[in-house]
Chain A
């Protein structure tokens, strides 16, 4: 069964460094999403992406964040200058229209 994959599973970075989290959505899906879950808190929407542009973003998704679909298969989330409070589990999801399929997540630890 097709699935969403994410790499790496765990990323440790120093405050102020740039990180890129990678996702490979299901191949025929057209809509892409990033969510995050800070430890002990709820899963929060960050951004949705369709037709090579952002369709919706939350107030969390400020200028430090960007998304890109650099080729036909990858969908990336870049954090330009990480802060301690960016430490969280980041989930990628994709959909045709409707049901969102989630990846296993990347745990980002900012030290």
Chain B
């Protein structure tokens, strides 16, 4: 069975600092990996996804993530945080055999001026 672990339910950074949100997955087949962002009172918006090919994936709003099979990780990074990045971030996994997304518990990102 697939699963996702997000280390750190809350992460706080200063504006301009590096953002690092951690995600580790478990999957018996090659995974498809996703990062979603949720702003208050809104739905989940896809930031980026990895299915096959290049392991460094670039997404919207300057975010990127790297698929590391040896570490079963898909950490999300952004070089310089902006106040508007404050939101809840969810990592999710699926695979070629299923559409259903298995989500992590989420990480709330706070950005301080």
Contact = CB atoms under 8 A, between A and B. Distances in A.
Q: Do A and B come together as binding partners?
A: yes
Interface of A: 4, 31, 33, 35, 41-45, 48, 55-56, 58, 91, 93, 95, 98-105
A56 B102 CA distance: 13
Given A41-B105, A43-B90, A31 B99 contact: yes
B49 A95 contact: no
B99 A102 contact: no
Contact of A102 (B43, B51, B102, B104): B43
Contacts, number: 49
Contacts of B44: 43, 91, 93, 102
A41 B36 CA distance: 16
Contacts of B101: 35, 43, 45, 100
A6 B24 CA distance: 31
A43 B100 CA distance: 11
A48 B106 contact: no
B105 A102 contact: no
B98 interface: yes
B43 A48 contact: no
Q: Please classify the interface of chain B as helix (H, G, I), strand (E, B), loop, or mixed, using the class held by over half of its residues.
A: strand
Contacts of B92: 43
B45 A102 contact: yes
A96 to B, nearest CB: 11
A104 B42 contact: yes
Given A43-B90, A104-B42, 9 more contacts: A41-B105, A42-B105, A43-B106, A45-B100, A56-B100, A93-B44, A100-B101, A101-B43, A102-B43
Nearest to B32: A98
